[in-house]
Chains A and B, each alone.
Chain A
Amino acid sequence: MDLNRPDVKRELDRELAGLRFGNRQNVLERTHPNSLPGRLRAWWNKELELPVVPIGAALLLLLTAAFLYRAALYPKGPLPGSETAFKRELVEEAGSVYWKDDLERRLALLENPGQN
């Protein structure tokens, strides 16, 4: 539609004659906010341009660090409800009854030249 054509222009003017733009203030507030809410809304909707690689790398580092920290804090604790973690075995040696893990640890602590 060619608005330079006088008949078209005239027709359009006639049809739009009843319309009045009454929101000028609002538009101005949005584009050039002066009040606090307006400024906040502008900031909330502000677009940032972020470099993917450095930020991704930083996030990965952070996650790894968090995982390591947690692992160091709770060294291989038994899983709750894990049955085997609570079983201990009794053994009999030289007429005495020992905890098997206890005895093995003791024997490992002693130098054992008899076996070399």
Chain B
Amino acid sequence: MKIRVKIKHLAYGAGLLLAVILAVAVMAKPPQNMAGAGQTGAEAKEQVLRKIAAAGAEEKLKLIEEYMLKDDSADLSRAYDMYIESTGMMYGGGVVDVAKKPVFSLDEKLPYLEQYAAEGKPGPELAAAAKLLSYHYQGEGQQEKAAKVLAEARKRLHSSTAVYASNELLLMQAQLAAGQKQYDTLLKLCAEIIDRNAANDDILVRMSELLAQYAIEKGEVPQTLELLRSDLEQKSSRMTSGQAVQIQKEELRGITDRLKKIASGRPAGLTDVSGTIAKANGEPLAYAGVFLRRDDDLNHSMAGFEPYQTITNEKGEYAFKGVVPGRYKLYLGVNASQLNGWTWPEQRDGGWIDLNGQQAAVENVTFQPLLELREPVNNAIVKDSSIAFAWEPVQGAAYYNLSVGIKLKSGSTSRVVRRGISVPEVRIQADDLYYEYTGISGFSEGSGQLTIDPLSLLGYANTDNQMTWDVAAYDAGGRMLTRSGGYRLDERLTDRLPFFYLKAREMTEADRTLLSGDLKKAEAMYRADYRKDPDDAHSLHMIIRLLQGTMMLEGKGAGEAEESLLAEQTRLLRQLVKLHPAAWYYDMLAQQAFDRADWDEYRRYDELAAALDTSEDTGYRDGTRAIAFMRQQKWDEAAASFQKSLENDPSHRFIGAYIALTIARGSPLETAAALAEKYPDRMSYSGPIHWDELLLAMKREAAGQDGYFQTLRQRAGLYVRGGEAGGERSSSSSPAMNRFFEQLKQVK
């Protein structure tokens, strides 16, 4: 087949084709490396800045918007990659937007933000620019300038179209005024907030937090706040459910409690909290987010409504002015690259900051270089009867603690297996690790039915499960210097991964059956193995674990069945401690004796457990002992043990029981409240318990009720003897007392 075609038509066709190819090539250009591979961040930044410099006025503002003001840049609770606390845990979603655009520091943005604040179009970006500038000026100590930039931006915003942005500016202005103790300005701003947001409870709650500052400082409740509170209370009683409502209700309760505290004449003053965030080499953590979070807020993720949020300046310094009394923790917002190779050592008191009206509190954070591990690493297989752990020495370290962890179906678990190691190496017997305690965990598959995780039952004896380890170094005073766990975000820091497999033992058929998920069959096999060989400690250990699992699934109070299970467990445990004595077996025996109120046996096993327990933290053991003494009505011994527990255990988890004991023994509520304030309950069961506030509430409740204290003492007496002092004796006229006994059930 042939076609006839003139040369000129051929040429036209070729020209057209060429034009089409060119057009496609221009429109679908291959990825441009704005900040991508092969180009450093500095180059990308330079490129953007050149582009901004070359652009016309309007285009310039657009570019500033695009490169410096998008993505919630002024909402500190969302602007950072990671939110971390002193326990070093990563906090937040964990998904990070990596260098899609070059990241400018606040300092680099400064001239551009100033231009945008002056010329940018009224909208959310203008508010963001003003907020960022305000944070920057505050960091430089220029409070007036910080307030001015907010006021001017708000003037340019149309509050009718940019409601949210305008409110944010207004609140920040009020916050600044409160921090500066400019209360006239504060009240004026608050009036404006109320005027505009009569129906916006979220904003009103945030504002009331600022008014509380005023109330505490002046010792009088502003009328606005009282009105607001009653209004919120009315609304709150009409609300239904949902997390937002829950938070708001808690906020409201917080405000109410605070107002009552002020009314009852105990206004502790405001505190200025400040500090420096830096690395041990002196390099400051510039422009990091700093969050002083109330204990009430720790149960939810970082939120914009939390009152104390700021940014460090270029020297890593931060300051919060006029913080309301309470219990706080410091959290930081950082970008992934900022902490690579560093760790935030855990503090002994868990990082709690208690503000009781002191004038100033200084909270510095110093990140330390990571401790490096030597062996075993990179999935090494250990087949010897002992494992040699070794790591790089840390200067000034008096001792090290070693933790070993295993994977579970969902998540992982880790325990300190050796404490007080004086040299940077230690040998652990594989057998000791095999019998190490693991908490039994359950998981639910599609059906929603809870199943015991076999990995948690077999624990460290599972030779197929990858083990992890980490080391922390301490000085002679017990302060953590550094540790191996931290931010390892580049190749250089991942060449020695702390993973290994322990294959000193052979797994039995029963172990394999257990791992396959057939727990019933596995239990029968373990029992058969144990019958064959009465010295088979592993099978005995596993039978006990499976019994524990069964009881966990069926729950307490299963009646006769549970009793026979417990009896069998006790019998088997007594056999097992003969073969392989370990602290946690004795602890289980002690717990069972405790539940039976067999005090002699409890004491015997508890002492045996204590002798084998290497943990320095005896807070839990002392607290449990105190409750045992309490049940035996040995008041003095109980009080002494509680004291010991409270001194040793920074969580003060037994303070509630101790308070009940002092009440039962006839102490006035003031004595109990002083104890509560000295030892705040840090055990966050389902939210913090503020015993001091409960006691104050009870004191208020007592006024005008005859026989209140008598009833209280009776109920407390019943509780300390081990009876149920809660529900059945509750009285509708004493809600605070009822709440007190309700909360006591959580103390254990």
Q: Is the CB of B487 within 8 A of A51?
A: no
Size band of the interface chain A makes with B = 35 or more
User: With A43-B7, A80-B32 known to touch, is A53 a contact of B378 (CB < 8 Å)?
Assistant: no
- Contacts across chains A and B counted by CB atoms under 8 Å: 131
What separation, in Å, do the CA atoms of A51 and B4 have in the docked complex?
A: 9
Question: Is residue B122 contacting chain A, with contact meaning CB distance below 8 A?
Answer: no
Max count, chain B CB within 10 A of own CB: residue among A52, A88, A91, A103: A88
Q: Are B470 and A111 in contact (CB under 8 A)?
A: no
Determine whether the beta carbon of B499 is less than 8 Å from that of A94.
yes
Q: Which of A98, A111, A112 contacts B488 (CB 8 A)?
A: A98
Residue among A45, A78, A106 making CB contact with B31, cutoff 8 Å: A78
Contacts of B89 in A (CB 8 A): 92
B173 within 8 A of A: no
Cβ B487 vs Cβ A45 within 8 A: no
> Is the CB–CB distance between B97 and A46 below 8 Å?
no
Interfacial chain A residues near B236, Cβ < 8 Å:
none
Q: How large is the interface on B (under 10, 10 to 19, 20 to 34, 35 or more residues)?
A: 35 or more
Q: Is the CB of A96 within 8 A of B485?
A: yes
At the interface, is chain A mostly helix, strand, loop or mixed? mixed
Asked if residues B485 and A94 are in contact (CB atoms below 8 Å), the reply is yes
Which of A86, A103, A112 neighbours the largest number of chain B CB atoms within 10 Å of its CB?
A86
Which residues 80-116 of A have a CB within 8 angstroms of B?
Answer: 80, 86-99, 102-103, 106-107, 110-115
Q: Is the CB of B96 within 8 A of A90?
A: yes
Question: Chain A residues with Cβ under 8 A from B95's Cβ?
Answer: 87-90
B100 an interface residue at 8 Å Cβ cutoff?
A: yes
Give complex CA distance A39, B99 in Å: 62
Given contact pairs A86-B100, A97-B487, A45 touches B7 in the complex (Cβ within 8 A): yes
CB atoms of A99 and B489 under 8 A apart: yes
B4 touching A47 by the CB < 8 A rule? yes
From residue 571 to 600 of chain B, which have CB atoms closer than 8 A to chain A? none
Given A86-B98, A106-B494, A96-B484 contact (CB < 8 Å): yes
> Is A61 in the interface zone, CB < 8 Å from B?
no
From B2, B414, B469, A51 is in contact (CB under 8 Å) with B2
Most buried by B among A98, A111, A112: A98
Distance in angstroms from A40 CB to nearest chain B CB is: 11
Contact A90 B7 (CB under 8 A): no
Assess whether B468 is in contact with A80, with CB atoms less than 8 Å apart: no
Q: How far is the CA of A111 from the CA of B381 in the complex (A)?
A: 11
Partner of B485, one of A48, A74, A95: A95
Complex: chain A residue closest to B407, CB-CB: A93
Residues B82-122 near A (CB distance < 8 A) = 82, 88-90, 94-100
**Which residues B52-98 have CB closer than 8 A to chain A?**
81-82, 88-90, 94-98
Complex Cα gap A64–B100 (Å): 33
Q: Would you give the shortest CB distance from B368 to chain A, in whole angstroms?
A: 14
Bound CA–CA A111/B497 (angstroms): 13
Is A77 close to B, CB under 8 A?
A: yes
Q: How far is the CA of A10 from the CA of B468 in the complex (A)?
A: 119
- Contact present for B501 and A114 (CB under 8 Å): yes
At the interface, yes or no: B8 with Cβ under 8 Å from chain A?
yes
Is the CB–CB distance between A94 and B1 below 8 Å?
Answer: no
For the complex, what is the distance from the CA of A80 to the CA of B97, rounded to whole Å?
15
B464 at the interface (CB under 8 A from A): yes
Chain B, residue nearest A86 (CB): B100
- Bound-state CA distance A92–B89 (Å) is 8
The complex places the Cα of A90 from the Cα of B483 at a distance, in Å, of: 19
> A102 near B1 (CB under 8 angstroms)?
no
Q: How far is the CB of B544 from chain A (nearest CB, A)?
A: 27
Asked if B466 is at the interface (CB within 8 A of a chain A CB), the reply is yes
| B15 in the interface (beta carbon within 8 A) | no
B88 touches A91 (CB 8 A): no
A2 within 8 A of B: no
Q: Which residues of B contact A102 (CB under 8 A)?
A: 489-491, 494
Contacts of A73 in B (CB 8 A): 30
Quick check: is B316 within 8 A (CB to CB) of the other chain?
A: no
Given contacts A86-B99, A95-B470, A96-B470, contact A110 B6 (CB under 8 A): no
| A79 contacts B by Cβ under 8 Å | yes
Taking a contact as CB atoms under 8 Å apart, the answer to whether B2 and A114 are in contact is no
| Residue contact B378 to A110, C-beta cutoff 8 Å | yes
B498 at the interface (CB under 8 A from A): yes
> Cβ of B4 and Cβ of A98 under 8 Å apart?
no
Known contacts A90-B94, A95-B483; can you find 15 more A-B pairs with CB under 8 A?
A44-B7, A49-B4, A50-B5, A80-B32, A90-B82, A91-B94, A92-B90, A93-B499, A94-B498, A95-B403, A96-B498, A97-B488, A97-B489, A99-B336, A107-B499
What 3 A-B pairs have minimum CB-CB distances, sorted nearest first? A95-B485, A94-B468, A114-B501
15 pairs from A and B in contact (CB 8 Å cutoff): A45-B7, A47-B4, A47-B7, A90-B96, A92-B89, A93-B497, A94-B484, A94-B499, A95-B484, A96-B484, A97-B90, A97-B488, A106-B495, A107-B499, A110-B379
